[in-house]
Amino acid sequence: MRYDLIIRNGHCILPWGEAKTDIGVISGRIASLNVPGHAEAAETIDATGLHVLPGLIDAHVHLRDPGKPEIESIPTGTKAAALGGVTTVFDMPNTNPSITSAEMLRWKQEYVSANSWIDFGFYVGATRENTTELGTLEQMEGVCAVKVFAGSSTGDLMIEDDAGIEAVMRHGHRRVAFHSEDEYRLQERRKQFHTGQPHDMHRIWRDEECAFLGTRRIMAIARKTRRPAHILHTSTAEELKYLQGFRDIATVEVLVNHLTQVAPDCYETLGALAVMNPPIRDRRHFDAAWQAVADGTIDVVSSDHAPHSLEAKAKPWPECPAGLTGVQTIVPVMLNHVNAGRLSLGRLVDLMSSGPARVYGLQAKGRIAAGYDADFTLVDMKARRTITNDWIVTPAGWTPFDGTDIQGWPVATIVRGNIVMRDDTITGTPIGQLACFTP
């Protein structure tokens, strides 16, 4: 038997535990988990001292393409992902124009197939105009889910009322992803604040009840319609506790920032570079998020990579746009948490590979097993580095983690047997394909 690629001597995180074994790849798929020593391959990677993880997925990014390629684009964003050890991204629909029609989905399918460095799924945005078509749109190739902005969006992408959300839930059958902050409460509370107040006001304005109320409303509609829902960027202790009562219909995402940064410190040191939605909150919520990592409440950890220019971020609060870069830094930051003893490497794989695959119905990814796509993230758990702005390839050019010391670093990104990144260098051509989902 001749292989296209063999990864030898790595500590592999298999679904049933960690094992030191040699993995063989043929035609982009995992062909063997126990390659004999004499087997030959076109390419062999010696992974001595490294851990071999199933390809890590960032299930929540905003690549600004089409619309703002000078901030981020699909080519630059997927390069950033590959440099950071991510093999697949799921991209949000609030671009300009937005991705809300069959026509735009077809455009994105073609564009992604020619320009992405890694595999790619994308959301279709729900609008009042396309609600009755969502059952068809969610079946199109590459679509990971319908995304509903129940709060905090602009233009036609917002559906903030119960009747509108229920109508979405009654068209189609796949899991629907929600930005769940309650728009009415956000607007009402906005009047209490004025331009130029400290950035820490962001979490006071968009308080716990904005998030919790939105999530309670969506869970009521999910129960009523028996449609599964995914609560994106869950940010409060209250929601995490509450969602435990909905495990039959709800899955849960938490962002790496909510597991890493704490208010008010983050606003004092980073100002607008800590402003995101839902906001980074105080230690009580940080502790609850880690408790929810430990007890299994959380299904997915993502970055919500949403770059803005430093110029835009320099505007006074709350005119500075909300959103941070993160797709290139999520894996190092999470590996550092593993080294700090906050979670195991197995739980990290659950949150960033098998978890996203389970939640979105992603086919043939999310585990190292025979026949699955040969997607791997190779990591050096001993490597020590410092995250710096000059490492960031997103054109916006900054990270809130600039200057952060990290132990644990991705050293290779392999997508269907193609080595896309090795030792900080992107190689080959944009071989990314559309991810496949259970209909």
Check residue 91 for interaction with Zn ion (CB under 5 A).
no
- CB-wise, 28 or 93, nearer to Zn ion? 93
Q: In degrees rounded to 5, what are phi and psi of residue 362?
A: -75, 130
- CB-wise, 211 or 415, nearer to Zn ion? 211
Residue with smallest beta-carbon separation from Zn ion: 304
Interface stretch with Zn ion, choices 16-24, 25-33, 301-309, 369-377 (CB under 5 A): 301-309
Interface stretch with Zn ion, choices 169-177, 250-258, 303-311, 428-436 (CB under 5 A): 303-311
Full DSSP string of 161-205: SHHHHHHHHTS--SPEEEE---HHHHHHHHTT--TT--TTHHHHH
> Applying CB under 5 A, what is the total number of residues that bind Zn ion?
1
Q: Name the CA dihedral angle for 378, 383, 388, 394, rounded to a multiple of 10 degrees.
A: 0
Q: How near is the Cβ of 62 to Zn ion at its closest, in Å?
A: 6
- Which runs of E-coded beta strand occur in 185-335? 229-231, 250-255, 300-302
- CB-wise, 143 or 411, nearer to Zn ion? 143
DSSP 73: -
- CB-wise, 28 or 323, nearer to Zn ion? 323
Give the HSE-up count for residue 52: Cα atoms under 13 Å, Cβ half-sphere.
29
What does the alpha-carbon distance between residue 60 and residue 168 come to, in Å, rounded to a whole number?
Answer: 20
Q: How near is the Cβ of 275 to Zn ion at its closest, in Å?
A: 13
- CB-wise, 84 or 151, nearer to Zn ion? 151
Interface stretch with Zn ion, choices 18-26, 298-306, 361-369, 371-379 (CB under 5 A): 298-306
- What per-residue string of b and e applies to 268-296 under the rule 16 or more CB within 10 Å gives b? eebbbbbbbbbbbbeeebbebbbebbeee
Q: How near is the Cβ of 59 to Zn ion at its closest, in Å?
A: 10
Burial of 184 (0-12, 13-18, 19+ CB in 10 A): middle
- Of the residues 22, 304, 373, 380, which one makes contact with Zn ion according to CB under 5 A: 304
- CB-wise, 91 or 304, nearer to Zn ion? 304
What does the alpha-carbon distance between residue 235 and residue 4 come to, in Å, rounded to a whole number?
Answer: 44
Q: How near is the Cβ of 100 to Zn ion at its closest, in Å?
A: 16
- CB-wise, 255 or 415, nearer to Zn ion? 255
Interface stretch with Zn ion, choices 141-149, 152-160, 192-200, 299-307 (CB under 5 A): 299-307
Interface stretch with Zn ion, choices 98-106, 304-312, 366-374, 377-385 (CB under 5 A): 304-312
Going by C-beta distance under 8 Å and a sequence separation of 6 or more, which residues neighbour residue 248? none
Give the angle subtended at the CA of 236 by the CAs of 316 and 170, to the nearest 5°: 100
Q: How near is the Cβ of 395 to Zn ion at its closest, in Å?
A: 19
- Which residues are at the interface with Zn ion (CB under 5 A)? 304
